[in-house]
């Protein structure tokens, strides 16, 4: 990290709109809830520590190699958070996760929350697990052809 990185990173523009913005909003909302409860801040304020965490989260998000096609983070093989931040953000999410639902029900929180509290498998499986298909419901058609006639 150098001082040069302190200036507005053009990549951060990517989280100003589109699907990544939603994620950025979610992170920020949760960091705020956490900070307000633990560090006595209010409104849009964040304490320096939490501000740093939020900035870090935004940077990770803006650098996500999957861009707009970002998969659910939980399935992601890229462990993009440094351990220290990962731990911190997990704590924030565990605390703020259930609370943010009431404040910002629209934000797709579960998605993000899982991303950091669930450890993804190291290797992708060959095939996704097959979902048991819903039993076939007999239609009027196949019932009719099968029926015993009186
Ligand atoms: Zn704080």
DSSP assignment of 67-91: GGG---GGG-----S-HHHHHHHHH
CA of 88 to the centre of ligand 1 (A): 11
CA of 9 to the centre of ligand 1 (A): 23
Q: Is the pTM of this model over 0.85?
A: no
CA of 147 to the centre of ligand 1 (A): 70
CA of 36 to the centre of ligand 1 (A): 7
CA of 51 to the centre of ligand 1 (A): 7
pLDDT, one tens digit per residue, over 74-124 is 455 566 788 888 889 889 988 988 787 666 665 555 555 555 655 555 554
Judge whether 53 and 14 are in contact, CB under 8 Å: no
pLDDT, one tens digit per residue, over 45-64 is 999 999 999 999 888 888 77
């Amino acid at each position: 990290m150098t001082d040069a990185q302190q200036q507005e990173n053009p990549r951060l523009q990517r989280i100003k709109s589109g699907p990544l913005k939603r994620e950025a909003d979610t992170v920020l909302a949760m960091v705020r809830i956490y900070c307000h409860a633990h560090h006595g801040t209010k409104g849009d304020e964040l304490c320096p520590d939490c501000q740093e965490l939020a900035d870090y989260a935004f940077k990770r998000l803006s650098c996500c190699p999957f861009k707009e096609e970002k998969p659910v983070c939980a399935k992601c093989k890229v462990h993009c958070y440094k351990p220290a931040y990962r731990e911190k953000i997990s704590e924030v999410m565990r605390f703020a996760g259930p609370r943010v639902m009431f404040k910002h029900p629209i934000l797709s929180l579960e998605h993000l929350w899982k991303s950091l509290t669930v450890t993804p498998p190291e290797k992708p499986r060959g095939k996704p697990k097959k979902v048991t298909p819903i039993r076939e419901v007999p239609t009027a058609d196949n019932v009719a052809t099968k029926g015993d006639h009186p």
